[in-house]
Amino acid sequence: MIESTLVSVDVIVLRFDPEERAVLVGVAPRAGEPFAGALALPGVLLGRGERLRDASTRAVTGKLGLAEESVTATGQLATFDEPSRDPRGPTLSIALWATATGATGDVAVWSRFDAMPPLAFDHDRIVADCRPLLADKLWRDVAFTAGLLGPEFTTAQALDVTESLTGDRPYPANLGRTMDRVPGLERTNEHASALPKGGRPPLVWKWSSEAVRA
């Protein structure tokens, strides 16, 4: 009988901050060794028979201090198998994404994608490798997009999110047309209150009832 590998689940938690006008990644200082005090992605060891989704919830609530309800969607990214990635011994890491809204959690540190602090283990590499995968999901994976932006949002916020993930800001007109093609996403007639700086109030978008159910 071959001794089994340890499996950890590491989560890239994304939250859109309307004040900051950017997508932020949640990390937290490690409580114990190794890398005590260093920032790391929330991660836990996968329990026997535990589903990946449950483990990711456990990591996000336990390590970042978020409420379970604030996690809006999750999914798989990739698996990392370098045997030396954890100094305690060989550990497989399954990277997942999660989207969160609302409260920021009591211990979480939120950083922009383009200004991530150095992280413990190989988490820098995990974030770097997974960023293009995440950018690709925007406007194509409905669960991801809806989880990140919430049930209702403006064109201006959509512009900010796209810029955060892909690196450059699209023309508002073109983004509107991409959003028209997203199944379940609909324009409303409402307009948000304008920004203090002035300017035309942006359109409000909503998910149709069918999309929310799925």
Give residues in contact with a second copy (CB under 8 A): 2-7, 45-52, 76, 78-79, 81-83, 89-90, 92, 94
Phi, psi of 36 (to 5 degrees): -55, 130
What are the structure tokens assigned to 23, written together? 């997508």
Query: Look-up: residue for tokens 């989207």?
Result: 99
Residue 76 interacts with which of DNA, a second copy, none, CB < 5 to 8 Å by class: a second copy
Binding mask 134-173 for DNA (x = CB under 7 A): --------------------xxx--x----------xxxx
Instruction: Say how far apart CA 129 and CA 131 lie, in whole Å.
Output: 6
Instruction: Say how far apart CA 111 and CA 28 lie, in whole Å.
Output: 11
Residue 201 interacts with which of DNA, a second copy, none, CB < 5 to 8 Å by class: DNA
Minimum Å distance from CB 152 to DNA?
A: 13
Question: Which one, 127 or 158, has the nearer CB to DNA?
Answer: 158
Minimum Å distance from CB 49 to a second copy?
A: 3
Minimum Å distance from CB 29 to DNA?
A: 35
Instruction: Say how far apart CA 109 and CA 103 lie, in whole Å.
Output: 12
Helix, strand or coil for residue 16?
strand
Q: CA 101, 104, 110: angle at the middle one, nearest 5?
A: 100
Residue 156 interacts with which of DNA, a second copy, none, CB < 5 to 8 Å by class: DNA
What are the structure tokens assigned to 12, written together? 């890239």
Minimum Å distance from CB 141 to DNA?
A: 15
Give the residue, chosen from 196, 209, 210, 213, that forms a contact with DNA under the rule CB under 7 A.
Answer: 196
Instruction: Say how far apart CA 149 and CA 99 lie, in whole Å.
Output: 9
